[in-house]
Amino acid sequence: MEGESKPPLFLIWSAASADTSFIFTTIRILLCISIMFIVLDQSRKVWRYLNSLLFSPPRRLLPLSDQKTLFLDLDHTLIVSLEEPPTEKFAAGDQIMLRFMEETLYVLKRPGVEQLLRSAIASNYEIVIFTAGTKLYASPVIDWLDPNREFISHRLYRDACTISIDGKCLKDLSATGRRLDRSVVIDDSPTVYGKHRQNVIPVSPFHGDPGDVELINILWFFEFEKQFKDLRLAVKNY
Q: In the complex, which residues of this chain contact Mg ion (CB under 5 A)?
A: 73, 75-76, 188
CB 205, CB 196: distance < 8 Å: no
Please list the residues that pair with 119 across neighbouring strands.
Answer: none
Helix, strand, coil % (nearest 5) of the chain?
A: 45, 20, 35
Query: Min. distance of Cβ 123 from Mg ion in angstroms?
Result: 23
What residue is closest to Mg ion based on CB? Answer: 76
Phi, psi of 76 (to 5 degrees): 70, 0
Angle at 173 between CA 212 and CA 200, to 5 degrees: 30
From 19, 66, 73, 146, active-site residue? 73
Query: Min. distance of Cβ 18 from Mg ion in angstroms?
Result: 59
Which is closer to Mg ion, CB of 154 or CB of 179? Answer: 154
Q: Is 66 a catalytic residue?
A: no
CB 218, CB 113: distance < 8 Å: no
DSSP, collapsed to helix, strand or coil, labels residue 48 as helix
From 19, 41, 66, 75, active-site residue? 75
Which is closer to Mg ion, CB of 98 or CB of 233? Answer: 98
Query: Min. distance of Cβ 188 from Mg ion in angstroms?
Result: 5
CB 173, CB 185: distance < 8 Å: yes
Which is closer to Mg ion, CB of 126 or CB of 188? Answer: 188
Query: Min. distance of Cβ 185 from Mg ion in angstroms?
Result: 11
Q: Which residues of 96-120 are buried (b: 16+ CB within 10 A; e: fewer)?
A: eeeeeeeeebbbbbbbbbeebbebb
Which is closer to Mg ion, CB of 81 or CB of 95? Answer: 81
* Residues marked as catalytic: 73, 75
